[in-house]
Homo-oligomer: A and B are copies of this chain.
Amino acid sequence: MKSIIPFKYENGLLKLLDQRKLPLQTVWIELKTYKEVALSIENMAVRGAPAIGCCAAWGYFLGIKSLGSVFSDKIEFEKKRKKIFNRLSSTRPTAVNLFWALEQVSNVMEDDFESYLSSLEKKALEIEEDDRKSCRDIGKHGALSLPQGEISVLTHCNAGALATAGYGTALGVIRTLHENGRLKMAYADDTRPRQQGARLTVWELMEDNIPVTLLADTAAGWLLSSGKIDAVVVGADRIASNGDTANKIGTYMVALAAKMHNIPFFVAAPLSTLDFSISSGDEIEIEVRSPDEVRKVGDIYRTVPTVAVINPAFDVTPSELITGIITENGVAHPPYTDSLKLLRK
């Protein structure tokens, strides 16, 4: 099955599908420098934890590529390398894949600059290809774990091809169900304030002729109480050792409603989303974004432009509400402190 690939490194340029403009405009932007990559992560031209990780790796590669002239001066080079690393690290605080990918590329080192660059490029490509393969495997493990037969699935935000290097995590599961003739309907929450559900999930599923129905975020509780939904599957931005999961704001309320109606609630994410350095979700930093994301829709104010706003980008779903965590190595079930360790590479 085809699925969009939202970025591609080619001839010195990182080409990005601008996700702020979808679905009404399909615009590719071309990034030449690590600073442009950092800005594109910050302003969410690219978003989704695994996609951010991949693009940060490419950004690091582009940054190092410009340091040929200082490579021989180890002190100067290390100063500039750290600047690149720090700039890319500081783009967004919550998704751990960003730090994981930067760690991966940081560990690459060679004495010869050309060999170094070539190894870095190989590593960035490997991260990207591994992610694509992980998504396929997540799809298979998910299809095995979700309720059997033909089912309807609710998802929140976009954990799709657009959020990864292709195919998707939560939408990877939905794609696999569809490929196996088992998807009755995918339901997509709007996902305010940035509407990744309405703009991205709807678009990518319709592009691939996968049946999808859109709802306002406010309607998820009603839908889960209606008997129409067999399972919920969402992505993740960071998963603590105990299974607590940070994901797009609103996920927590969907999980509460799923629990209330005994509907299985799954998280789908590659192992790079796991953060074994923290014991629970309390330790996850939640990004707070601009008030205008809530005041406006697109470019238009929908409220009094001076109103105070609180705009957290993520919330934490406690592990007690999570039926299973679907990774490329298999599905973890509670207690996660034990099961996640076993799946670790």
Contacts and interface: CB of A to CB of B under 8 A. Distances in A.
A215 B315 contact: no
Interface residues of A, number: 54
Copies of this chain, how many? 2
Nearest to A309: B214
A240 interface: no
A220 interface: yes
A311 B253 contact: no
B195 A303 contact: yes
A330 to B, nearest CB: 29
Contacts of A249: 216, 218-219, 222
Contacts of A190: 192-193, 294
Chain A contact residues: helix, strand, loop or mixed: mixed
B315 A221 contact: yes
30 contacts: A191-B218, A192-B192, A192-B217, A193-B216, A198-B295, A203-B303, A206-B304, A206-B306, A213-B308, A213-B309, A215-B309, A216-B217, A216-B250, A217-B217, A217-B250, A218-B248, A218-B315, A221-B252, A222-B286, A225-B252, A225-B315, A252-B257, A253-B254, A253-B257, A297-B297, A297-B298, A297-B302, A298-B300, A298-B302, A300-B300
Given A198-B303, A219-B250, A221-B252, 7 more contacts: A206-B307, A218-B249, A218-B253, A219-B311, A219-B315, A222-B249, A256-B256
Interface of A: 23-24, 187, 190-193, 195, 198-199, 202-203, 206, 211-223, 225, 248-250, 252-254, 256-257, 260, 286, 294-295, 297-298, 300-304, 306-312, 315
